């Protein structure tokens, strides 16, 4: 069972850490390394304090406290959602059995890998966003950046707790390595490709928090179903915090599109670069890149590893309890995206039928794609409300893929296959060019005055926690 959040401890927690002195000492010995990493690889902009939310409970109501906190004094803690003593495994060959409170020996290596991969993404995004504070478009946005950063740091703590508490020496070693790898490093990069990409500007940040953090939502959602109850409860609480990160991305792109539409209408022109806004084709190219890179995070269209994870009860499906099937899938099938060769030497983008268990990556990716369309619909409504005919769209699933069935081909955003030479010639039509990136970076001039905002983005409709937009969200050093 969890206990109330205890902030009197050196490491705030609701897992009664004080009752396991050995674990407590191990985590307290890891804490200085984490703080050193935060000082070295965390936000680089000096601040006095920031208006942040801090988790104080795990219930549905009143779970967070808001207040100005010096970043160096932020209290990262370990929080698991409340335990259900009657919880049963909901899928796989162990369906109906009591959820596991300890790691079964036969699944130890697989669970360790799943936790390490999830844990590796958390500090990676902080590293990617390290220097964005220097170009924040407003204090409101600066505060949101820092909120995302500190919560990614707490999500790292969540995975490190599991590694220390349940995986012995190997877990401690893996926890140490989470601080030794760095995003984009040539010697020790992060495990997943998207987390080695740079996030050099705020349009990239909004796209990342919309598309890549949304992938995180779905990955956490599958782990929340895990038969290993501590992992399930950890991810359940992480999802509560992850919602804010996606809100930052969704409304961030909202406001970029809104400002661009305003400038287009006010000046009766599509050529808004000279007027200090971000042209819609540039927004589309950024969208294409971040969406396609995020699709790769779901892995190949088929996977025996994921099938085995599901059968073993380690990792379920999104909204497993809402699925109308036997939750074992041994006799079911699914159509998955594929590159099909009919035997005449040609290839085409199509679908093939495979066992449902091996197609679980496709199932999850499709849930994600449906979700992503919601954001595009929002952005297109902004354009429609402004009386503009232009529309943004998600590119085809085969576009710019480096993982899975389409990794070996090139395809247009409309899904038409083309030669490598043609791809190289037309790449600038579909993905951000050096000119695009240089222009967007040229707009990234900090605005730190209360109530003011950069000219390339619209102000938010609402502030944080009932505060107005012109609230003093951040006090700079």
Q: CA-to-CA distance for 175 and 161, rounded, in angstroms? A: 9
Please give the span between the terminal C-alpha atoms of the chain, in angstroms, as a whole number: 42
Residue 95 burial (C-beta neighbours within 10 Å; 0-12, 13-18, 19+)? middle
Residue 233, CB-side half-sphere exposure with 13 Å CA sphere: 23
Question: How confident is the chain (477 residues) per 10-residue block, as mean pLDDT?
Answer: 76 95 97 97 97 84 87 94 96 98 98 97 97 98 98 97 98 98 96 93 97 96 98 95 93 98 98 98 98 97 98 98 97 97 85 98 98 97 98 98 96 97 98 98 98 98 96 97
pLDDT at position 61, please? 64
Question: How far apart (Å, rounded) are the C-alpha atoms in residues 477 and 470?
Answer: 19
The overall longest dimension of the chain from CA atoms, in Å, is 71
pLDDT of residue 2: 53
Taking the C-alpha atoms of residue 459 and residue 258, their distance in angstroms, rounded to an integer, is 9
Whole-model pTM? 0.96
Question: Given its phi and psi angles, is residue 248 left (phi above 0), alpha (psi -120 to 50 degrees) or beta?
Answer: alpha
Contacts for 356 with CB less than 8 Å, ≥ 6 apart: 329, 332, 333, 334, 363
Task: Give the model's pLDDT for residue 364.
Answer: 98
The pLDDT score that the predictor gives to residue 342 is 78
The per-residue pLDDT for 255 is 98
- Say how far apart CA 347 and CA 358 lie, in whole Å: 23
Name 406's Cβ contacts closer than 8 Å, sequence gap at least 6: 337, 339, 349, 397, 398
Say how far apart CA 452 and CA 473 lie, in whole Å: 12
pLDDT of residue 442: 98
Predicted pLDDT at 345: 75
Give the distance from CA 295 to its chain's centroid.
12
Residues 6 or more apart whose CB falls under 8 angstroms from that of 442 comprise none
pLDDT at 63: 79
- Rounded to the nearest angstrom, the gap between the alpha carbon of residue 436 and the centroid of all alpha carbons in its chain is 24
pLDDT for 309: 98
Phi/psi at 193 (nearest 5 deg)?
-55, -45
Burial class of residue 239, CB neighbours in 10 A (0-12, 13-18, 19+): middle
336/363 Cα distance (integer angstroms): 8
């Amino acid at each position: 069972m969890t206990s109330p959040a205890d902030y009197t401890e050196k490491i705030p927690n609701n897992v009664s850490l004080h009752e396991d002195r050995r674990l407590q000492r191990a985590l307290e010995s890891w804490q200085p390394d984490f703080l050193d990493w935060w000082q070295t690889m965390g936000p680089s902009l000096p601040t006095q304090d920031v208006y942040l939310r801090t988790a104080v409970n795990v219930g549905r109501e009143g779970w967070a406290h808001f207040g100005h906190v010096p970043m160096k004094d932020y209290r990262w803690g370990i929080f698991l959602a409340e335990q259900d003593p009657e919880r049963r495994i909901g899928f796989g060959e162990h369906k109906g059995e009591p959820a596991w409170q300890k790691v079964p020996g036969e699944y130890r290596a697989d669970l360790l890998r799943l936790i390490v991969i999830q844990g590796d993404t958390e500090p990676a995004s902080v590293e990617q966003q390290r220097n964005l504070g220097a170009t924040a478009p407003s204090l409101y946005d600066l505060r949101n950046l820092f909120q995302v950063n500190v919560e990614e740091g707490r999500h790292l703590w969540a995975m490190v707790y599991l590694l220390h508490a349940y995986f012995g020496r190997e877990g401690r070693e893996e926890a140490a390595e989470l601080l030794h790898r760095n995003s984009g490093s040539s010697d020790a990069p992060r495990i997943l490709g998207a987390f080695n990409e740079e996030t050099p500007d705020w349009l990239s940040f909004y796209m990342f928090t919309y598309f890549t953090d949304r992938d995180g939502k779905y990955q956490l959602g599958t782990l929340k179903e895990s038969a290993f109850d501590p992992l399930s409860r950890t991810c359940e609480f992480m999802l509560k915090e992850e919602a804010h990160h996606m809100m930052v991305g969704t409304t961030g792109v909202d406001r970029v599109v809104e400002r661009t539409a305003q400038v287009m209408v006010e000046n009766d022109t599509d050529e808004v670069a000279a007027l200090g806004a971000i042209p819609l084709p540039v927004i589309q190219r950024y969208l294409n890149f971040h969406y396609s890179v995020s699709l790769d995070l779901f892995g190949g269209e088929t996977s025996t590893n994921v099938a085995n994870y599901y059968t073993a009860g380690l990792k379920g499906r999104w909204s497993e309890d809402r699925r109308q099937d036997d939750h074992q899938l041994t006799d079911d099938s699914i159509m998955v995206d594929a590159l099909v060769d009919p035997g005449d030497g040609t290839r085409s983008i199509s679908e093939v039928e495979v066992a449902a268990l091996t197609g679980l990556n496709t199932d999850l990716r499709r849930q994600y794609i449906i979700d992503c369309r919601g954001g595009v619909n929002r952005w297109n409504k902004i354009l429609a409300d402004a009386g503009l005919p232009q529309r943004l769209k998600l590119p085809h699933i085969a576009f710019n893929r480096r993982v899975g069935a389409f990794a070996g081909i090139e395809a247009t955003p409309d899904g038409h296959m083309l030669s490598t030479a043609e791809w190289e010639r037309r790449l600038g039509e579909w993905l951000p060019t050096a000119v695009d990136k240089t222009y967007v970076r040229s707009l990234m001039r900090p605005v730190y005055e209360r109530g003011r905002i950069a000219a390339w983005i619209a102000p938010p409709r609402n502030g944080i926690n009932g505060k107005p937009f012109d609230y003093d969200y951040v006090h700079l050093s």
